[in-house]
Structures are given as structure tokens and as C-alpha cells.
Amino acid sequence: MYYIAFFLITLILLAPSFTTYVSQNAAVIVSFADGKYNPAIVVTAGGRIVEEFKNMGMLYAIVSQRALTSLEQNPAIEFVESDGRFEIAEEASTSEYAESWALKDISAEPAHLSNYTGRGVKIAVLDTGIDYNHPELAPNYKGGYDFINNDNDPMDDNGHGTHVAGILAAARDGRGIVGVAPDAEIYAIKVSDERGKGSFSGLVKGIGWSIENGIDIVTMSITGNSGSKALAKAVESAYNEYGLVLVAAVGNGNGNVLYPAAYEQVIGVGSVTEDNELSSFSMTGSEVELVAPGSRIKSAAIGGGYRLSSGTSMATPFVTGAIALLFGSDEKAWGNTGMVDGDGAWTNDEIRNVLRYTAKDLGDKGKDDLFGYGLLNLDFLRGQPSIITPSVPETEDKPIVLKLAWFTFKVSLQPAT
Ligand SMILES: [Ca+2]
Ligand SMILES: [Ca+2]
Ligand SMILES: [Ca+2]
């Protein structure tokens, strides 16, 4: 009885203030500029601090619209972000994000605002080369090799590799477009000629180069109708012995997934349209692991401009970029969810587990031959989740709900099959 009474009193006390906050105030995360952490600024502006995240230079507060405006104009404050809905961040976003339906589709911007940008992650783009003079690509281009002409200059003479690289890592510089991993280090490995043709041996050499040069992720928007013993051995070695992450396009046309995507060590990527329907050209089969935007994607063109392209080639670098962001996140945050071992270091298997579990299911329930585990979804990289409280599934087929320690967002999981 006492408890019920207490509960009612609490409700009565809380209700009026709750209403007030909803109508006039906003719950926000305030992030201070480097070394400028100062909660007094928020208090002076009239905000009420709910919780401090001092070690990350941020705090959580309830503020009025007027306080919000004043905070946003304060140079000591890096950003103010509304909790959960991110309306403020979206309004504040540059045209770089507005240029891409695809970045919105996979929730890339909140991840970038939370400082997941792929910094320090090395990615080899096995393709037609990269126009490393393109202003979007020059800042992140770190070198490479040309296995078509056998020299150190992997300049793109086709345009395909440049477009792929732009989706992956175009500079977040307030102009043009922005890549999924705008601070990743990209290496151009030219394995396709000016007509886009290449050989298995070139792909094998490119994978070998990646192993020798400490590459973290190999991305291949390249397909062949059949496998090859040498290629199979190369992907097996890169994945199992050296721990690289391998990503490839499943192919365009009618029919089954092509190689190298069809190898189990390779993450096969299919394509969806702006309506999250399977792109007409996206090939199908059990080897489709994930889908990502691939229809009418704007990215870099050789010579410095931009163009629209479609294909599973375009979908692939979205997944590759997402992997680079994931590398920069805390592996320990996934606790003992069974997806990682919690040793603080990401392995290729752990990366795959997390992407599979966090994908947005499309089409038939669960994994299917059209969409694989579903649409790449970076929603879980909003904020800086420190600890994911594991909920041990009661049964294998019951969705697990992960709760993050900080934000109240939830990640619904589909069990791996
Ligand atoms: Ca840009
Ligand atoms: Ca680990
Ligand atoms: Ca499905």
C-alpha cells in the first residue's frame, strides 16, 4: 500500500514538469570543443544539467529554445544535439549530406557527428584506380599500385574506381559530397584496365599487396562469372590467416551471386533503391550478406566533378565504409552478446556479426536470398555507447534487445542463422 501511494505521489509530482519539458524545452547533448568542457555555460544559459559525460567532453541537459540558441552560438561548444531525434543535427548539416539519399538511408551522419569517421583505417580499393587529384579524394588517398601497367601510379583511366572511392571516403569538407568513412585512408590498387576488364591474377596480386601493406579492409566492386583456385586461396589466406575484411559486389544482372562475392570469406553486397526495394539489377542467392544503396548514387568523377551511377559496385563501398566506422568503435561495448569476444580488438568475424545483427531486415522475415541479413544500418553508432547491457536471449528465435548505457535507443537483433 505504501508503495502504491508513493508511486502515485511520484507520478503527480512528475507529470506537470514532464508536460512543460515536452512543450517548451528540449533534451539535448551538449558537446564542448576540445579542452573547453565547462558545465557553467549551460547553467548560465538557463539549462538544467541531467548528467555529465566529462571524460567525453559532453553533458546531457534540458534546455529552453532560448538557451539552445545561445548555446549553439557559443564558440566553446562544438555542437548541441537533440536527444533521440537528431533534428538539430540534421538542420545544421551541410549540403554534403543533402546530396545523398543513401547516407540518410543508412544513418551515416549521426555516426559522423559521434566521431565515427574511419580515421586510421586502411582500405584497399581493388578497381580501375583512383583519380587521386580529385579534391574529394586527395586528402584521403595514401598510395597504391597499378597491376595493369605494373607501376606505382594507379591513376584511374576509366572512372569506376573514382566513383567507388568517393562513396567510400569523399572528404567531409563542407563541399560536394561526403563519403561513408570520410577520414579513412584509401589505397588504389588498379586491377582493371580502361575498359574495366581485369584478370583473376590481378585480383590475387591486389589481395597479396593488401596483406603485405597492412590493409584492414579490401573492397572489390568487381565480379567474375566463375571462381578460380588461386583467387579462392587468396581470399582464404587474407581472411583466415591475416584477418583482413573482404567486401565485394554480388553482381549486376539476373542470376546468382558472382565471384569473389560468392566466397564465404567475402561479404557479398547487393543493392537497394531509394525506396529500399531490391534494385532491378541486384543478383541474388544465399551469398548475399547485406544490401546497401546502389541506385542513382552521386559520387566523384574523374577530372574533378560528380556523376550519378547505379550498380552493386556502388552499394559495396557503403558497407566497406561502415566497416571502417565500426573499427573505430569500442568492441568491448558489445559485451558478452556473443557477437564479439570483448578483448577490445575487432576481428573480421566480429565485424561481420555486428553488421548482420544490426542490419534492417527487408523482404522475407530474417535472412533471405534477395537482401541477405538486410539493409546496412548505422543507427547503432549514434552517440557514444559505452556499455551495451547484454540481454541473453531466452530462445534462439526471440529477438534480443540491446540497451545502451547512454542513449535510450535500442537495437533490435535478428538471430543469426
Ligand atoms: Ca566533400
Ligand atoms: Ca575481439
Ligand atoms: Ca529479410
pLDDT digits (tens, 9 = 90+) for 128-142: 999 999 999 999 999
**What is the model's pLDDT at position 18?**
32
Please say if 160 is a catalytic residue: yes
What tens digit of pLDDT does each residue of 178-217 get? 999 999 999 999 999 999 999 989 999 999 999 999 999 9
Distance 99 CA to ligand 3 centre (A): 28
The identity of residue 222, as a single letter, is I
**The CATH classification of domain 86-396+399-412, taken from the options 3.40.50.2300, 3.40.50.10880, 1.25.10.10, 3.40.50.200:** 3.40.50.200
Distance 21 CA to ligand 1 centre (A): 37
**What is the model's pLDDT at position 95?**
76
Helical H segments across 170-246, by residue range: 200-212, 229-236
Please say if 163 is a catalytic residue: no
- Say how far apart CA 127 and CA 190 lie, in whole Å: 5
- Say how far apart CA 241 and CA 313 lie, in whole Å: 27
* Residue given cell 563501398 in the structure block: 317
**What is the model's pLDDT at position 398?**
33
Selection from 321, 319, 324, 343 nearest residue 333 by Cα? 343
On the question of pLDDT at 273 being above 90, the answer is yes
Cβ pair 228, 192 in contact under 8 A: no
Q: Which residues pair with 299 in a beta bridge?
A: 307
Ligand approaching nearest to the C-alpha of 417: 3
Q: Span 64-91, mean pLDDT?
A: 71
Pairing of strands 141-146, 245-249: unpaired
Helical H segments across 264-311, by residue range: none
What tens digit of pLDDT does each residue of 354-394 get? 999 999 999 999 999 999 999 999 998 986 544 444 433 33
* Residue given cell 583511366 in the structure block: 157
Ligand approaching nearest to the C-alpha of 177: 1
Cβ pair 172, 110 in contact under 8 A: no
| Domain map (residue ranges) of the chain | 20-82, 86-396+399-412
What is the band of 5 on the pLDDT scale with cuts at 50, 70, 90? very low
Helix (H, G, I), strand (E, B) or coil at 78: strand
Distance 387 CA to ligand 2 centre (A): 15
Please tell me which residue in 279, 313, 329, 361 is annotated as part of the active site. Answer: 313
Distance 122 CA to ligand 3 centre (A): 31
Question: pLDDT exceeding 70 applies to what percent of the chain?
Answer: 83
Pairing of strands 58-64, 25-32: antiparallel
Cα atoms in the Cβ-side hemisphere of radius 13 Å centred on 147: 23
Distance 330 CA to ligand 3 centre (A): 28
Please tell me which residue in 83, 127, 216, 361 is annotated as part of the active site. Answer: 127
Please tell me which residue in 160, 279, 309, 329 is annotated as part of the active site. Answer: 160
Helical H segments across 311-391, by residue range: 312-327, 348-358
**CATH number of the 20-82 domain:** 3.30.70.80
Average per-residue pLDDT in the chain?
84
**What is the model's pLDDT at position 26?**
77
Distance of CA 306 to the CA centre of its chain: 22
Please say if 313 is a catalytic residue: yes
**What is the model's pLDDT at position 53?**
79
Cβ pair 262, 268 in contact under 8 A: yes
**What is the model's pLDDT at position 383?**
67
